[in-house]
C-alpha cells in the first residue's frame, strides 16, 4: 500500500475580514432593463450597494439640440417606455410655456384623460410583474389582460401601442374617432370591475406580505435627500403630488376626485399598496374627464402653427407628475427652431439612487424584493 501524504493549506485569518463583491446584472432578469448592481457582501448581508448605470444611454439630451420642436417629441416619449404619453406632455408644456401659447379647452381635458389612462397602463405592468419576481406568476396574466383593454382605446386614438406621438405643440394631433369616448368609458369600467383581483391574489397572499412587510424601509429623510418622488416617496409619508400641489392641465378642476395616496411604513408592501390605490384613483379621474368631455361643445384640439416654429430666447422649466414620479424639462432657447439645451429630470434616475441607502444592511434574499418595489424603467435612468 502506497503511503499517502496529507497537506493542510491554510488561508490565515484574512478570510474572516474579506468581503465578497457580487455583480447583479447588467443582464439580470429582475432589473427591468440593463442595470448593474455592484454589491459588497458580508456573508449574506449587503454592506455596500452601487447602482452602475449607462448601459442603455442614448444621449437623448444632446439629440434634442439637433431636432426642431416638432421632432423632439419623438425623442422624449421613449425614455420611460411605459409612460410615453406623459413624457411627450412634459416637452410640449415647456415649449408652450416659452411661446405663451393657450391650448384649446377640449385639448386640455383630452390630455388629462390620456395621461391618466397612461398612468393606469404603467401601474398595471408593475402590479403584475412585481409579484412575478417574488414567485407569483398569476397576477401578470391578469395585468396584461387589463392592459390590453386600455391599449385598444389608446391605439385607436393615436395609432401607437407604446410610443403614441399624439401630443403636439399647441394641443393634440387630431380629434377623437367617432364613438371613442363610449368605448373608452366601457374599457375603464371593465378594468375597474376586475381590479379586486390584485387585492385578492396579491395583497391577500400571506407569502407576498411576508416577503414585503418591513423589508426595504425607505425613510422620509432619504426620500428628500435623493429627490425620490411618485408612489415611492408617498409610501414613505412624503405627501407631495404635483397634480394637487401645482396643478397643470385640468387637475385644478379635479381636486374633488383626485386622491393623493400615502403610507407611513415606507417598506416594499407600502410601495405596492400606494401603486394599487393610485391605479384605482386614476380610473376615477379618467371617468371624471370623460364626463367633462361629454359636456364640452365640439371644438378644435390644437392651434395652428407657423411652418417654422421658433421659441423666443429665454428659458423655462416644466414638470409633471409622471406615473413613476416627477418628470421635468429645463428648456433653454436662443430663438432658433431647435432647443439650445433641453435637460431632462427623470423620476427613475433619482429613485434608483436611493438603493445606495436602502440595500446596505439587508439580506441578499431580500434584494430582488426591494429592487422590484422601486418601480423603475432603465431607459428612464439612461436617458
User: pLDDT digits over 25-53, tens only?
Assistant: 776 454 556 788 899 998 889 999 999 88
Q: What is the pLDDT confidence band of residue 237, given thresholds at 50, 70 and 90?
A: very high
- Quickly tell me which residue has 397602463 as its cell: 121
Q: What mean pLDDT comes out for the span 330-342? A: 95
- Give pLDDT tens digits for 109-136: 999 999 999 999 999 999 999 999 898 8
Q: How far apart are CA 326 and CA 282, in angstroms?
A: 16
* Cell (9 digits) for 24: 447583479
The mean of the pLDDT values for the chain is 90
Q: What is the pLDDT confidence band of residue 54, given thresholds at 50, 70 and 90?
A: confident
* 100: Cβ contacts below 8 Å, ≥ 6 apart: none
Q: How far apart are CA 290 and CA 182, in angstroms?
A: 9
Q: How far apart are CA 367 and CA 40, in angstroms?
A: 12
Q: How far apart are CA 148 and CA 141, in angstroms?
A: 11
Q: What's the pTM value of the predicted model, to 2 decimals?
A: 0.91
Q: How far apart are CA 10 and CA 29, in angstroms?
A: 38
9 pLDDT above the threshold of 50: no
Amino acid at each position: 500500500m502506497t503511503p499517502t501524504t496529507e497537506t493542510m493549506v491554510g488561508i490565515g485569518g484574512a478570510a474572516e475580514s474579506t468581503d465578497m463583491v457580487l455583480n447583479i446584472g447588467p443582464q439580470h432578469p429582475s432589473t427591468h432593463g440593463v442595470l448593474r448592481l455592484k454589491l459588497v457582501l458580508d456573508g449574506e448581508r449587503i454592506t455596500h450597494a452601487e447602482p452602475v448605470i449607462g448601459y442603455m444611454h442614448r444621449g437623448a439630451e444632446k439629440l434634442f439640440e439637433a431636432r426642431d420642436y416638432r421632432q423632439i417629441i419623438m425623442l422624449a416619449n421613449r425614455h420611460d417606455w411605459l409612460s410615453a404619453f406623459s413624457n411627450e406632455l412634459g416637452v410640449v408644456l415647456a415649449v408652450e410655456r416659452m411661446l405663451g401659447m393657450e391650448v384649446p379647452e377640449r385639448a386640455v381635458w383630452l390630455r388629462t384623460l390620456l395621461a391618466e389612462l397612461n398612468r393606469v397602463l404603467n401601474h398595471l405592468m408593475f402590479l403584475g410583474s412585481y409579484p412575478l419576481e417574488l414567485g407569483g406568476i398569476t397576477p401578470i396574466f391578469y395585468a396584461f389582460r387589463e392592459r390590453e383593454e386600455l391599449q385598444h382605446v389608446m391605439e385607436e386614438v393615436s395609432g401607437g401601442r407604446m410610443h403614441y406621438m399624439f401630443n403636439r405643440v399647441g394641443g393634440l394631433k387630431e380629434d377623437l374617432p367617432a364613438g371613442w369616448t363610449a368605448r373608452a368609458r366601457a374599457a375603464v369600467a371593465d378594468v375597474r370591475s376586475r381590479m379586486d383581483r390584485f387585492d385578492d391574489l396579491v395583497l391577500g397572499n400571506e407569502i407576498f406580505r411576508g416577503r414585503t412587510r418591513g423589508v426595504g424601509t425607505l425613510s422620509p429623510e432619504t426620500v428628500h435627500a435623493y429627490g425620490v418622488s411618485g408612489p415611492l416617496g408617498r409610501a414613505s409619508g412624503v405627501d407631495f403630488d404635483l397634480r394637487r400641489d401645482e396643478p397643470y392641465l385640468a387637475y385644478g378642476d379635479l381636486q374633488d376626485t383626485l386622491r393623493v395616496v400615502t403610507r407611513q411604513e415606507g417598506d416594499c408592501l407600502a410601495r405596492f399598496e400606494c401603486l394599487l390605490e393610485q391605479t384605482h384613483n386614476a380610473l376615477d379621474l379618467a371617468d371624471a374627464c370623460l364626463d367633462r368631455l361629454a359636456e364640452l361643445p365640439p371644438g378644435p384640439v390644437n392651434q395652428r402653427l407657423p411652418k417654422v416654429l421658433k421659441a423666443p430666447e429665454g428659458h423655462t422649466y416644466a414638470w409633471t407628475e409622471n406615473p413613476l414620479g416627477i418628470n421635468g424639462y429645463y428648456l433653454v432657447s436662443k430663438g432658433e427652431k431647435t432647443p439650445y439645451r433641453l435637460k431632462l429630470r427623470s423620476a427613475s434616475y433619482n429613485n434608483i439612487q436611493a438603493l445606495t441607502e436602502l440595500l446596505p444592511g439587508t439580506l441578499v434574499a431580500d434584494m430582488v424584493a426591494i429592487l422590484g418595489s422601486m418601480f423603475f424603467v432603465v431607459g428612464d435612468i439612461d436617458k
